Amino acid sequence: MGIKVQNLVKRFGDRTIIDHVSFEIAHGELVSLLGPSGCGKTTTLRCIAGLETPEEGRIEIDDEIVFDSTRGIMVEPYHRTIGMVFQSYAIWPHLSVFQNVAFPLQVRHRPRAEVESRVMHALEMVGLASFRDRSSQQLSGGQQQRVAVARAIVHSPAALLFDEPLSNLDAKLRDRTRAEIRRLQRELHVATVYVTHDQGEALSLSDRILVMGEGRIHQAGTPQQIYGDPQDAFVADVVGAANFFDVEIQQAQPNDFRCVAPDGTLIHAVGRVAVLGPGRVMVRPDRLVIEQDGGDDSGPNRLHGTVVQRLFLGGHFEYAVAVGPTLLRVFSAVPIEEAARVVISFAPQDGIVLGAEPLSVAEESEAWA
């Protein structure tokens, strides 16, 4: 077992940052903690690292209990077998590249020859072997990031922790580094926690994603499950672009929902909400089909609207379409002028019925509670 977190609770003053969070990460698995800022994902990571002391719960790393509130166990970060990559990289400015990477080995009093070979191997893994004697202040952001990764893996930790490691890189470098982190993690086969607010990063990197909001886990699953079958509106909103419109649920049978949109259009969709009455349908922008309004063109899952904005994004257009009071985003390669009357449609399996709870938990939590 790699990392095991049970009923973790962390409070700052009277604010609960982490609210009974539990999850397990297997040896060799990469799990992302995904959520908006303030959702508790970084605090969770820092609790695993030992940089924060939780109020309640239990944390195991590699079958060793590093925190247990009931038994009064709190292992200091330097006694945990972890490697951590910080958001700001935290490269020590007074040390060279080699000295930075060698640090975890030196403080463990490894023999000189072993330090040399392990550091060089780690530097080779991140492609910085030729930079070993560089001052860390002569490095670009991307290079610093690689040094931080090399430093985190050089002592073969039992758990690898990433705190938004790509958020300070430019877009192109981000894509490349993302792939490299994935490859490295596969090679090292180490339990890895990856904190990010970027759903693209989480979807492409992870074996599993934990979507966090308000200090709790909303959904845990593979990237495909999270994207294709969000459990609630919060998850749908956080992962991938999502359109929502209000409906009245009239019939709720597994994978055969019948709803009515405000303009009277009949909606066929799938979902898991078993309650009739007010609800919400989510459709991804790339699953919506947009076409010119041909007149008497009504039917199920066909919504009438007006194009209010068209943005050309290279591969496709992004349309903002007003359907009654709701704005829907549509990705399509079909060119349609602004202000045109259009029909938007989707297949029943692409419309997911969700409860009517507020969208952004972070913003509306008080009203909801």
Phi, psi of 358 (to 5 degrees): -60, 155
What SS3 class is residue 26?
coil
The rounded Cα 226 to chain-centroid distance in angstroms is 10
Q: Please state the closest distance from residue 143 (CB atom) to other proteins, in A.
A: 12
Q: Give the residue from 101, 103, 141, 107 showing the smallest Cα distance to 125.
A: 101
Strands 266-271 and 256-260: antiparallel
Nearer to other proteins, 185 or 301 (CB): 185
Nearer to other proteins, 32 or 185 (CB): 185
Ranges within 112-131 binding other proteins (CB under 8 A)? 118, 121-122, 124-127, 129
Among 110, 132, 272, 304, binds other proteins (CB under 8 A): 110
Nearer to other proteins, 87 or 306 (CB): 87
Does 161 help bind other proteins (rule: CB under 8 A)?
A: yes
Of 182-190, 192-200, 203-211, 345-353: span binding other proteins (CB under 8 A): 182-190
Alpha-carbon span 317 to 140, nearest angstrom: 35
Half-sphere exposure of 164 (CA within 13 A, CB side): 18
Binding mask 230-249 for other proteins (x = CB under 8 A): --------------------
- By the 8 A CB rule, do 347 and 267 touch? no
Q: Please state the closest distance from residue 327 (CB atom) to other proteins, in A.
A: 37
Of 83-91, 252-260, 281-289, 351-359: span binding other proteins (CB under 8 A): 83-91
18-42 in b/e form (b: 16+ CB < 10 A) is beebebbbeeebbbbbbbbeebbbb
Q: Give the residue from 327, 227, 203 showing the smallest Cα distance to 284.
A: 227
Does 153 help bind other proteins (rule: CB under 8 A)?
A: yes
Nearer to other proteins, 158 or 289 (CB): 158
Site residues (vs other proteins, CB under 8 A): 49-51, 53, 62, 64-66, 72-84, 86-88, 90, 92-94, 103-105, 107-108, 110, 118, 121-122, 124-127, 129, 151-158, 161, 180, 183, 188-190
